[in-house]
Amino acid sequence: MQIQAQRLRLPSTRLDGVCGIIAITRNPAAAGEQPLAGLLIDCLERLEYRGYDSAGIALLVGGMESDGADDATIWRIRAAVSTQSLQEIKKRVQSAPRPPRSDSAGIGHTRWATHGRPSEQNAHPHLDCTGNIAVVHNGIVENWRELAEELTASGHELASETDSEVIAHLIEDELRMDTGTQLHNNYMTTLEATRRALRRITGSFAIAVLDTRSNSSLVVARRLSPLVVGMGGGMCMAASDLPALLGLSGSYYVLEDGEIAEITPESIKAQDLDGQARTLHPIHVSWDIEAAQKSGYDDFMGKELHEQPTAVMDTLLGRFISDGKLALDETRITDDELREVDKVFIVGCGSSFHSGLVVKHALEHWTRIPTEIDISSEFRYRDPILSSSSLVIGVSQSGETMDTLQAIHLARRLNAKVLAVSNVVDSSITRQSDGVLYTRAGPEIGVAATKTFSTQIVTLQMLALYLAQLRGILYHDETSLIMDQLRDLPRLMQDALDRDEAVRAVAEDIAGQRDLFYIGRNTGYPVALEGALKMKEIAYLRAEAYPAGELKHGPIALIEPGTVVLAVATKGRLQKKMHTNISEVKSRGAKVIAVANDGDTGTAALADHVLYVPETVSLLAPVVDVIPLQLLAYHVARLRGCDVDRPRNLAKTVTVE
């Protein structure tokens, strides 16, 4: 299936957007019976499977139907009633006093909040000050704070808390600069104003722009976030994800990174962001809707596993702002309070607990603050010693896990500062904490955590860096250096994912086993724990993880000829000791599969199979090292005929104690 994704030439590290975008321009004569609002909603419904928290559409009304383009206005409907938002919009369209008659152009959006809580005010499309420009956006505007300040200073009024809204105002700004204060002019096209606006943005975007001046043409553009264009039947459509377009277009094109295009029902005029003309090449699409929803993977877990580099990249974007401050998403904790922290507790369940175990090493090393990691359901019953100088970090992908919520309630009762790390904006944990850092992994549909695990780790690492900087233990240039290493992780993760075939071959060799042992030391131990958890939950194999040095204190009695041992043996302070531990199990007949760095002949000489990964500094290595273990569990599960997306007895969110 991945081969088909390549044929589509979708960007390899980004197969799906966090938010859903649709843009349609159509020839009214060819429009048929269905009003454009209904068609936009239908297309967005095809993206519903991914989950969203709010939605909106904007249509060009008047203009072409009446007596000239200057009469055109934008008709916008937005709703924030979670996954009922599209139904709500449908109702409002039907009961609107004057249903939009325009059948020429419209844009729509389903939002998965990253900046600003889910609300109607934060839902897309966003308008500029004049109400003549509407924008939908998928991605992250990294420098939005600076841009928002700049725009506000020059008189713009921003109506939402989102990063996306600045794009509409930047386009307006470009048009204003061109003509003084007059917007409706013939001097600059929407394409040109958008191109100039986008050059002021750092970060990722896929956007669609509706401008009342442009008759039925729309402007679409992308950098890092995907955008697919479809044409046929008197329509041209653009969408963040292929399922929105399937069956509606005759030919499909992918906008390349850094391209912008003006689309009309009959034409696509593309440029790069420097204004050089570009030609879009058609792509072959053989997927049905179900395959397209999974980006051609057979299941969501496969897709999400492969989305990890992008998810990590998104999570890192724009977090350390210009003066070296960490941009917390919401905070009622001051820097002075953070400076006073004398003990950190990280609480979480399952993979979220493991991400805490990974980051303990970096946190203590960088900040010198004693750090304890607790399973949420244990923490709340163990009478922890907390005070106002304790920082309790609740880690929860869903933000709704009852045990973790109860753990942070206890922390608050005991006067500690509480910070949430979550993937779901406005989830319970974020509302009940003093500060929030969001992982920006996008919706995770597979029950087993993959991209949310890796993004939790980098989020916690950034927090650790910030604490170290605040306490004067690391200087700003040192944190910048580590941030650069963090920013290199998506590349290394992609490299690790590209070795999928080699992992699959090992999976075939071990799929018939009942019991597996995972060993690791230092940051390799939580990687072993996470690898074993994946194997248990999706392949139903008994997989136990041990700190490798602990083997001789008991577990080694279980090793017999043929026992499979997965050893996380990438480079680091304890690698030599890890080699000794591998020799201990080898000499008792174990079959050893090692995770090792490229070119590591020492480990290769000890192991039966090696799953190679690229090397990075050992404190940051877990998000790379875990990839072959995630892939291994995934392939073993599939070879054993298990449903990897819906493993037995498990729920994605555990809201009971």
For binding to ligand F6R (CB under 6 A), which residues are involved?
Answer: 349-352, 396-398, 401, 404, 448-449, 533, 537, 653-654
Active site residue 269: no
**258 CB-near residues (< 8 Å, 6+ apart):** 222, 223, 272, 273
Smallest gap from residue 439 Cβ to ligand F6R (A): 10
Packed helices 489-497 and 308-316: angle between N→C axes, nearest 10 degrees? 170
Smallest gap from residue 399 Cβ to ligand F6R (A): 7
Q: CB of 155 within 8 A of CB of 130?
A: no
DSSP codes of every residue in 33-84: SS-HHHHHHHHHHTTGGG--SEEEEEEEESGGGTT-GGG-EEEEEEE-SGGG
Q: CB of 237 within 8 A of CB of 245?
A: yes
In the chain, the amino acid numbered 2 is: Q
Closest residue to ligand F6R, based on beta-carbon distance: 350
Nearer to ligand F6R, 138 or 352 (CB): 352
- Measure the N-to-C terminal CA separation of the chain; round to a whole number of Å: 39
Smallest gap from residue 93 Cβ to ligand F6R (A): 35
SS3 string of 618-652? CCCCHHHHHHHHHHHHHHHHHHCCCCCCCCCCCCC
- Peptide bond before residue 125 is cis, with ω within 30 degrees of 0: yes
Nearer to ligand F6R, 88 or 403 (CB): 403
Q: Which two tokens stand for residue 615?
A: 């090397």
Smallest gap from residue 55 Cβ to ligand F6R (A): 24
**How many angstroms separate the CA atoms of 600 and 602, rounded?**
5
Closest to 506 measured CA to CA, from 634, 643, 641: 634
Smallest gap from residue 515 Cβ to ligand F6R (A): 20
Smallest gap from residue 349 Cβ to ligand F6R (A): 4
Q: Which two tokens stand for residue 628?
A: 């072959």
CB-based burial, 333-346: b 16+ in 10 Å, e otherwise: beeebbeebebbbb
Smallest gap from residue 181 Cβ to ligand F6R (A): 50
313: enclosing H helix or E strand:
helix 308-316
**How many angstroms separate the CA atoms of 293 and 272, rounded?**
28
Of 19, 236, 349, 642, which one is the catalytic site residue?
Answer: 19
| CA-to-CA dists, residue 628 to 260, 351, 456, 514, angstroms | 37, 16, 18, 20
Nearer to ligand F6R, 448 or 528 (CB): 448
**How many angstroms separate the CA atoms of 578 and 571, rounded?**
10
Smallest gap from residue 325 Cβ to ligand F6R (A): 27
Nearer to ligand F6R, 410 or 533 (CB): 533
Nearer to ligand F6R, 25 or 401 (CB): 401
Nearer to ligand F6R, 132 or 398 (CB): 398
Nearer to ligand F6R, 109 or 635 (CB): 635
Q: Which two tokens stand for residue 332?
A: 């009622």
Smallest gap from residue 350 Cβ to ligand F6R (A): 2
**How many angstroms separate the CA atoms of 219 and 538, rounded?**
43
Closest to 606 measured CA to CA, from 614, 616, 595: 595
Smallest gap from residue 513 Cβ to ligand F6R (A): 20
Nearer to ligand F6R, 296 or 356 (CB): 356
Nearer to ligand F6R, 216 or 351 (CB): 351
Active site residue 652: yes
**How many angstroms separate the CA atoms of 278 and 402, rounded?**
52
Nearer to ligand F6R, 162 or 401 (CB): 401
Q: Which two tokens stand for residue 284?
A: 């072959």
Of 90, 269, 586, 652, which one is the catalytic site residue?
Answer: 652
Nearer to ligand F6R, 201 or 419 (CB): 419
Q: DSSP character for 12? A: T
Q: CB of 369 within 8 A of CB of 344?
A: yes
Smallest gap from residue 51 Cβ to ligand F6R (A): 13
**How many angstroms separate the CA atoms of 247 and 401, rounded?**
39
Name residue 106's beta-bridge partners: 24, 59
In the sheet that holds 203-211, the strands lie side by side as 126-127, 133-141, 203-211, 218-223, 259-263, 268-272, 277-278
| Residue numbers annotated as active site | 19, 652
